[in-house]
A and B are shown apart, each in its own frame.
Chain A
Amino acid sequence: MTAGAAAPRQDTLAIFGALLRRDARVVRRELPFFLLRTTLQPLLVVFVFGFLLPRMGFVRGGYAGALLPGVLAISITLSSVMAIAFPMIVEFGVTGEIEDRLLAPIGTRWVAAAKVVGAVVQGMLAAFFLLPIARLIMGPIEGLTVAHFGIVLLLTVLGAAAFSTFGLWLGTTVNPQQIGTMFGVFITPLIFFGCTYYPWQGLSVVPVMKYLVLLNPLVYVSEGMRAAITPDLPHMPIGAVIAALLTITAIFWTLGMRSFRRRALG
């Protein structure tokens, strides 16, 4: 027998492509559930704060403009983290089914990289599913523009990358029993202190918080989205946002890869 009679010399990219195709197949099958899971909460926020409260007169109509970028950021965050952290926890810890891919003739880090790319795409899907629906629910939004669509796209990719790598680290570090706690303890505060429901500038009312929240990656996605789609509202400079998201991605890529490798080599 010669090695791999039916298998021609595979190049890494072809195998990487096969790993992505596998995720694409699974996502396509699960898409309605996935979108429901990741965009329901942001859409409910949109409905209450962007539709009901303004009509009741409790918040000013202009609030929708501050809210929409934040809600977009939430959906990117939730979907990217969930798209990678849950499968990691289940496939490593519970069923061990990731072994099939770990035994593919490709470096272990490529298997993790394919998961990250898949999660970035899912984050983008959720964002671009949510955006038009949110706009419909909220009605006309003062100062909303899609003129900088390239920036929106870039920020969606960067935000999804930051949270996919974060999810890679989380999903390979946390053990299965703690998954519920993990979302309650990690993700919920992240959302509420992520400048999602208010611009960062507004936190000047509590200066300590204004600087503490800078540790929260979500702040940069929200503020970046504000810069891109509601540029008239106060927002961080886009350059700072991009630099911050790249740094966060690099940090969690390193940490996530390290813990992925540790899990892969039992």
Chain B
Amino acid sequence: MPAIETHGLRKVYAPPPARGRRAGASAPQGVVALDALDLEVREGEFFGLLGPNGAGKTTTIGILTTRVLATAGTAFVAGADVIRDPVGVRRRIGVVPQKPNPDRQLRVRENLVFHAAYFGIPTAAATARADALLEQFGIADKAEAKVEQMSGGQQQRLMIARALMHEPDVIFLDEPTVGLDPQARHDLWDILRAQHRAGHAIVMTTHYMEEADTLCERVAIVDRGQLLAVDTPAALKQRAPGGTLIEISVDGDAAPVAEAARALPGVLRAAAEGPVARVYAPKPGETVAALVRAAEQGGRTVTNIHLAPPSLETLFISLTGRKLQ
């Protein structure tokens, strides 16, 4: 049974209330956050949703976790229908939110034990499991503390422990490492890898390329509510345009620079968008020198140069024409 299956999933957010709008004026259009999304995540898979802010990742997670009503389409999580059986879905999922939202009125261990109680797990069993998870995540010394006495990274780990309390089939994480320092981020990665090995399907949104690359078995690239590509990170990287991406910014229109780039030997692709020219070339050193010369001959000053080897990032830019972050 797939962990997740969606068909034609669509979400349109209602326009803001029309206060003071004149009668007869046309109604503002709703915002299309998700446009006909077809997605399948396999049982036990570590799956990444990669895209910039506003791509529709959080909306997707919201619908799959029963917290957002879909406008159209169908979605199943571990076999349960998100629309017809939201309670059945909740029983099968664990959710780690974008921003830690522990129950601040409860102590750390209580957060876990009460969460388990909401899933019908008796207190004794819940307490034992809570202590084991706190120990495993290195926050056992905080069991009796108030949640605000924990650091951001510790609160994030508490959120993961909470999501695991009722042994869900599918774990959802929405941008779990935003705001964490590098050490905390790597600790979190280790925890997630271990959960994946233990058999949980994991669905994670991120706008960090390397996170998707190192953790996920398959990655879906989404932008503006649409699915652009789904594959393993390795296969996606192969689909990236060959060569190194050279992004060269000038103090004006970059079109002449892209034009000049196409005439250079070895250049695979070149395109301009406003003051930025994006050029793919196998020997970036030579090409950069030639591009700078070409820009200066055209009366432009180069303001920035950025090199990126073939990666999910270069694929993303070639698919969407914009950067992830």
Contact = CB atoms under 8 A, between A and B. Distances in A.
A and B pair up: yes
Interface of A: 1, 3-11, 14-15, 18-19, 21-22, 25-26, 29-30, 95-97, 99-107, 264-266
B125 interface: yes
A1 B43 CA distance: 9
Nearest to A111: B118
A97 B102 contact: yes
Nearest to B169: A1
Nearest to A22: B114
A265 B69 contact: yes
A6 B101 contact: no
B239 interface: no
Interface string B88-132: 101111010101011111100011001101111100010001000
Given A97-B103, A104-B90, A105-B88, A3 B169 contact: yes
B173 interface: no
B120 A8 contact: yes
Given A18-B114, A104-B90, A265 B119 contact: no
Given A7-B121, A25-B110, A106 B167 contact: no
A82 to B, nearest CB: 15
B162 to A, nearest CB: 7
B118 A18 contact: yes
Nearest to B99: A96
Nearest to B78: A3
A6 B166 contact: yes
B103 A100 contact: yes
Given A1-B200, A4-B92, A6-B125, A96 B101 contact: yes
Dominant SS at the A interface?
loop
Contacts of B92: 3-4
B67 A102 contact: yes
B242 interface: no
A25 B90 CA distance: 24
A97 B101 contact: yes
B200 A100 contact: no
A266 B102 CA distance: 19
A30 B87 CA distance: 32
Contacts of B106: 22, 25-26
A80 to B, nearest CB: 18
Contacts of A5: 167
A218 B90 CA distance: 40
Contacts of B110: 25
A57 to B, nearest CB: 48
A237 B279 CA distance: 86
B167 to A, nearest CB: 5
B62 interface: yes
Contacts of A8: 120
Nearest to B89: A105
Contacts of A107: 87
B78 A99 contact: no
Contacts of B111: 100
B126 to A, nearest CB: 9
A105 B97 contact: no
B103 A19 contact: no
A105 B91 contact: yes
Given A4-B167, A7-B166, A100-B103, A21 B117 contact: yes
B199 interface: yes
A99 B100 CA distance: 11
A21 B44 CA distance: 34
Given A14-B120, A95-B101, A265-B69, 6 more contacts: A1-B169, A3-B169, A100-B102, A100-B111, A104-B119, A106-B90
Contacts of B99: 96
A219 to B, nearest CB: 33
A180 to B, nearest CB: 21
Contacts of A264: 67
A10 B120 contact: yes
Contacts of B129: 6
Given A5-B167, A95-B104, A101 B118 contact: yes
A3 B91 contact: yes
14 contacts: A6-B129, A15-B118, A22-B103, A22-B106, A25-B106, A95-B101, A99-B67, A99-B95, A100-B103, A100-B118, A104-B118, A105-B87, A106-B118, A266-B68
Query: What 6 pairs across the A-B complex have the smallest Cβ distances?
Result: A10-B120, A104-B118, A18-B117, A105-B91, A26-B105, A105-B90
B203 to A, nearest CB: 15
B105 A4 contact: no
Contacts of B311: none
A103 B90 contact: yes
Nearest to B105: A26
Contacts of B200: 1
A18 to B, nearest CB: 4
Contact of A100 (B68, B78, B101, B120): B101
Contacts of A22: 103, 106, 114, 117
A108 to B, nearest CB: 8
A266 B62 CA distance: 8
B206 interface: no
B6 interface: no
A26 B111 CA distance: 12
A15 B92 CA distance: 16
Contacts of B65: 103
Contacts of A97: 101-104
